[in-house]
Amino acid sequence: MATGTNIRTYFNGSWHEGDAPIIRAADHGAWLGSAVFDGARLVNGLTPDLDKHCARTNRSAEALMLTPTVSTADMVEIVKEGLKAYAPGAAVYIRPMYWGIDGDVTAIMPSAETTGFAICLEEIPMAAPEAAATLTKTQFRRPVLESAVVNAKAGCLYPNNARMLREARMKGFSNTLTCDVMGNVAETATANIFMVRDGEVFTPVPNGTFLSGITRARHIENLRADGVTVHETVLNYADFEAADEVFMSGNMNKVTPVSAFDTRQYQTGPITRRVRELYWDWAASNA
């Protein structure tokens, strides 16, 4: 599924131009969904937290009983080599991935002996800073570890996200504010979520129902270093209805302002703007 342009694919030890075929019809990942991925970014020559995204790819593989075959350090070097083909200033989405090839005797469990690996690079522009999301409630919930592999960035989790997004779009919104099975806000259908009230920042406490993102953690660290109080706590819909600002946090665009939650309207406020400034200042100083 190509979402960008100028695609390059790393597979079987070398880089290939274009959206190369990498998976076979009988591979476990194609048949039974044993596929994981991660996403990093090249923006303005910077690859923030690339090593953390590569490391999480390996952790996700292990969570799906796959055997990682590429070390974090090697994965970083492969990505950097592939990025050399892009023009200066290109915005590139970096997606390393693993999938199961063979199954065990039941066919259900992926074999630990054979794991597919690839990296896909796609030029995808960053959203404009003023681009905002609109959120609505959803009937669908985030699962728990006992019923889904929520400790991995796994492809099999995303059909549930798609149901949320379809519901939001049918209601005239771009995304959802999604709850966990207990009815507490977890994140959106596509990214982690933050809110601001009286100059302090609040975000759902990681409780094992959603992936606590790498960019999320970076925002928390940057804000606290800047003297802003950040609470990781239990939040509900009423908390967001009473918020002064709301913003999303994810790898694709790093910071996305939220302009509405159902009938509640927000402006892009000073904390949301400051979060973006802090992130790119940190990225440039750690290049």
- Tens of pLDDT, residue by residue over 131-180, are 999 999 999 999 999 999 999 999 999 999 999 999 999 999 999 999 99
pLDDT at 286: 87
Kindly give the parts of the chain with pLDDT less than 70: 1-2
C-beta neighbour count of 100 within 10 angstroms? 27
pLDDT at 1: 56
Looking up tokens 């469990």, which residue turns up? Answer: 109
User: 34 with 26: CB under 8 angstroms?
Assistant: no
pLDDT at 264: 98
pLDDT at 278: 98
71/149 Cα distance (integer angstroms)? 22
pLDDT at 287: 72
pLDDT at 107: 92
In this structure, the chain runs to a length of 287
pTM of the model: 0.95
pLDDT at 65: 96
pLDDT at 2: 64
pLDDT at 265: 98
* Rounded alpha-carbon distances, angstroms, from residue 135 to 173, 229, 261: 6, 25, 5
pLDDT at 3: 77
